[in-house]
Structure 1
Amino acid sequence: MVKPTLLALSITAACPSIVYATDSLNRSEQQDLATQLQQLKLQVEALESRLTKKSEQEAEDNDQQDIAAAEAEKSAAEIAKDGIEVGGAVRTNFSHTSYDEGNKNRGGDFDFDLMRLDFRGTVGDVSLNAEIRFFDYMTVVKKAYVAYQLDELWQAQLGITQVPFGNWPYNSNNYFFSSNYYLGLEDDHDLGLLFKRQLSDQWQLDIGFFKNDELGGIDGYVSDKTDRYSYDIVGARGAAEDIYGEPIQALAETNTLVSRFGYHLTQGQLTTELGFSVLSGKLHDGVRNAGDYQAYALHLNSRYQRWQLQLQHSQYQYDVDGIERIAVGAYGFYDSIAAEAKSATVNLAYDLPVQWGPVTDVQFYNNYSLVYDKSDQSRTTLMNVTGFSLAAGSLFTYVDYVHARNQPFVGGSMAGDSVEEEQRFNINIGYYF
């Protein structure tokens, strides 16, 4: 393509010789030559105009191609962000206990704990988070919910999601949680709708409505009500019933409202969350409302440099006529708790970053739990866990020494009346992928 400016310069350079030649022509010939020059000038201007329009069109086409390419790259990036990632873990467990003579004689037992699969990711504007766990004796869904970011502060979650109650996300550091977990007041997951206000202006708020537990409540179509990850009420317990037996009268929670408020303070290297949690719901026997239940907690979670301190006071009440004991279920077992009780927890932890071969982080902790003022007049439950956790690449390990009385999985029950204190040394090794 000939550029318009070069064409104009060529014609202009030729003009002086043409003008000089006109000096030897008569007036008529000069007029004819002037007319021809004028026509040539018009033709040149028209040609320049066409060439200019063509150049502008080509530039516009190139711009459009650049925009299209950028949009294609953006779309490809967005598509690459979409999708579900699959992860999980395989865990094994060693235990040596004071309450199992066979275990002591064998020098402890080393067993398969679980295999789990995690699903998380985003499709469009909706994110997914789910976890399924496979044990030797059961398969359970711990969580499965979709989430949508309503705005920069609020997120909505729908499905089996964690009930916002107490120190978040855990009121413990060890493998066994605190005693609150066995009351259904720590790391509990139910089926409902949760609104989470993320931290802003020092405070955050969670508000949830849970229609029923993760197994569908009183009419959930499951073969065994104890095949679940979280502890939930499964029945009323008569005074003469076996505390480990299947309850005669089935019950389940329904229509529960939950609210958790946290206020954050920062003073130098000290950060603290002060919080209050409350929940209230109904109990159903399959035909009618049989009662209601409530719980509340005051909690503190404070960090200073590598130290962490957690404090929590909780109280709960199941209000069912003539009932002082409630049947609960999880991990393939029935157990019992008092219909009303209080609990207190004190947790202290220290994080130590290290470089010991593959080990990059060690956390030392001591977690103390106490459940007292039980309405069924059973003895106080206590549990103290001293231990540490190790992070080494894809391996994560808990090493715990547990000292407890009337504590599930440490030789007792929340409704037990033992005066004996039992011990358990436990190592849980997990490979996470």
Structure 2
Amino acid sequence: MYLNKLTYVVALALVFPALANSQTTQIDEEELSILRQQIEKLQQRLTELEQIQRQQEQKIVQADLSQQSKDTDIETEVEEKRTVSFGGAIRTNYSYTSYDDDSKNRGGDFDFDIFRINMDVNIDDVFLAGEIRFFDYMTTIKYAYAGYDFNDDWQILLGITPVPFGNRPYNSQNWFFSTNYYLGLEDDHDLGLLVRRKLTDNWQLDLGFFKNDELGGVDGFVDNRADRYSYDIVGIRAVEEGIFAEPETPVGEYNTFNGRLAYQFNALGINSQIGASLLTGGIHGTDEKVGDYHAWAIHWEADWDNWLMQLQHTQYEYDVNGATRMAVGAYSFFDTIAAEAKSTTFNLAYTFSVDWGPISSLQIYNNYGLVYDKSDRSRDTLMNVTGLALSAGGLYTYFDVVTARNQPFVGGTAVGDSDETEHRFNINVGYYF
């Protein structure tokens, strides 16, 4: 457009002097013919310039479109290499107990359990996984790690990872886990490095090094060292201290080495896995190392048809300045365990498929656990859970009848001296998405 305007301006500039002179001098036809020819040439030249300009503008637009296409291809390629998925659960809980008279008078209590969010991310060959749990009384991370699969047989995890010990992933089927969970020896998660190696088609080796527990050890930057999902020791329990008190002498586990070796085989139509687990590490106070701890277990899991059986024997010891008791923490709650003890668990479960409306699966089970030979000479801890787990779409519900003695969350503590057997009927309803 601006070239057309320029044409008229130039033409006027050429004509104007002639018109001005025409007032005094008559312009002959020859001069006007020459003037018209010059104007026509100028217009042709301006038309050529406009064409050149349009071609340049088209090249610029095409270059921009090409770059946008490249950017889109790059973004699409990155998105194709990155996958993100979220899940979680919302759970509520009903309980009726023999040890809480007020609750019995109310006909039991129905409470909110948890809201949890799970995240899984995969970028190229590196994957991330995490789970955060929200309770009425605390918020805590169960696990959070990055991982890499070198191949189908070799995996490495870094962060708050599972501690491979005993029957995996759980040594139980019920909502309460086994007695080992309250000793920090089932479904435990700590901060460190875990390597999983499939040696052969039958042999599996897991090796871990854990710098400290998931809250940073004895001097972790947290408000409450009991705000955690997994049970860990948090202090030395002096004789004069209350069983549920915050420990006056805080300690934490550190530099723990862990190994689990398992062998998978089939005999007489029964799929079995037998294995052994071992862990050893140090105990550190606020200023210096104060002791060591060790644990080992032998375990066997077998399934045939719809049956599942688990058997495990475990021993642990905290060697800390001759202490007979250690303080533990979890669920925003302090408790006490013997510094040394043995544990035996036995589980039997049967799972069958059904087609009852939305109900697709049922599992019935009995989980038995006993903790004995305690260093503080307290009475044995016993817990037996008979239950039914029901799956209906996203709903998963536990119906548990618990019989226990000196068992946390069932009217007692792991260092109790009661000879009374307590009971708890529990229903946990969860929607998993």
Pick the TM interval, shorter chain.
Answer: 0.7 to 0.9
Match of 1:370 in 2: 370
Counterpart code for 2:289: N
What 5-or-longer segments of structure 1 have no aligned partner?
A: 1-71
Alpha-carbon displacement from aligned partner over 1:255-300 (angstroms, at most 9, x marks no partner): 0000000001112531000000000000000211000000000000
Does residue 361 (structure 1) correspond to residue 361 (structure 2)? The answer is yes
C-alpha separation in 2, matches of 1:75 and 1:355: 45
Alpha-carbon displacement from aligned partner over 1:360-397 (angstroms, at most 9, x marks no partner): 00000000000000000000000000001011000000
C-alpha separation in 2, matches of 1:273 and 1:417: 36
Please tell me whether the aligned partners of residues 235 and 247 of structure 2 are also in contact (alpha carbons under 8 angstroms): yes
Match of 1:318 in 2: 318
RMSD: 1.6
Q: Report deviation, 1:322.
A: 2.6
Q: Report deviation, 1:111.
A: 0.5
C-alpha separation in 1, matches of 2:109 and 2:429: 14
Counterpart code for 1:413: T
Identity, % of aligned pairs? 58
Q: Report deviation, 1:201.
A: 2.3
Distance 1:77 1:274, change over 3 A: farther
C-alpha separation in 2, matches of 1:212 and 1:408: 25
Match of 1:223 in 2: 223
Counterpart code for 2:229: Y
Task: Within 5 Å, give how 1:88-127 maps onto structure 2.
Answer: 88-127=88-127
Distance 1:77 1:356, change over 3 A: farther
| 2:151 alignment partner, SS class | coil
What 5-or-longer segments of structure 2 have no aligned partner?
A: 1-71
Q: Which sits farther off after the overlay, 80-89 or 290-299?
A: 80-89
Task: Within 5 Å, give how 1:182-331 maps onto structure 2.
Answer: 182-198=182-198, 200-331=200-331
Match of 1:23 in 2: none
Q: Report deviation, 1:80.
A: 3.6
C-alpha separation in 2, matches of 1:74 and 1:164: 40
Q: Report deviation, 1:151.
A: 2.5
Counterpart code for 1:336: T
Alpha-carbon displacement from aligned partner over 1:207-242 (angstroms, at most 9, x marks no partner): 000000000001100000100000000000111111
What TM-score results when the alignment is normalised by the length of structure 2?
Answer: 0.82
Match of 2:172 in 1: 172
Counterpart code for 2:181: Y
| 2:426 alignment partner, SS class | strand
Task: Within 5 Å, give how 1:132-143 maps onto structure 2.
Answer: 132-143=132-143
| 2:117 alignment partner, SS class | strand
C-alpha separation in 1, matches of 2:252 and 2:199: 33
Task: Within 5 Å, give how 1:381-420 maps onto structure 2.
Answer: 381-420=381-420
Counterpart code for 1:241: E
| Aligned positions, number | 363
Counterpart code for 1:281: G
Alpha-carbon displacement from aligned partner over 1:1-43 (angstroms, at most 9, x marks no partner): xxxxxxxxxxxxxxxxxxxxxxxxxxxxxxxxxxxxxxxxxxx
C-alpha separation in 2, matches of 1:253 and 1:153: 30
Distance 1:153 1:241, change over 3 A: same
C-alpha separation in 2, matches of 1:77 and 1:423: 58
Q: Report deviation, 1:78.
A: 7.5
C-alpha separation in 2, matches of 1:138 and 1:320: 30
C-alpha separation in 2, matches of 1:408 and 1:335: 8
Please tell me whether the aligned partners of residues 81 and 124 of structure 2 are also in contact (alpha carbons under 8 angstroms): no
Q: Which 4+ runs in 1 deviate beyond 6 A? A: 72-75
C-alpha separation in 1, matches of 2:275 and 2:217: 29
Counterpart code for 2:255: N
| 1:315 alignment partner, SS class | strand
| 2:182 alignment partner, SS class | helix
Match of 2:160 in 1: 160
Please tell me whether the aligned partners of residues 82 and 121 of structure 2 are also in contact (alpha carbons under 8 angstroms): yes
Counterpart code for 2:173: N
C-alpha separation in 2, matches of 1:129 and 1:199: 25
Q: Report deviation, 1:156.
A: 0.3
Alpha-carbon displacement from aligned partner over 1:64-103 (angstroms, at most 9, x marks no partner): xxxxxxxx99995883462221110000000000000011
What TM-score results when the alignment is normalised by the length of structure 1?
Answer: 0.82
Match of 2:67 in 1: none
C-alpha separation in 2, matches of 1:107 and 1:207: 48
Counterpart code for 1:358: P
Distance 1:296 1:99, change over 3 A: same
| 2:375 alignment partner, SS class | coil
| 1:187 alignment partner, SS class | coil
| 1:159 alignment partner, SS class | strand
C-alpha separation in 1, matches of 2:235 and 2:85: 38
Counterpart code for 2:210: F
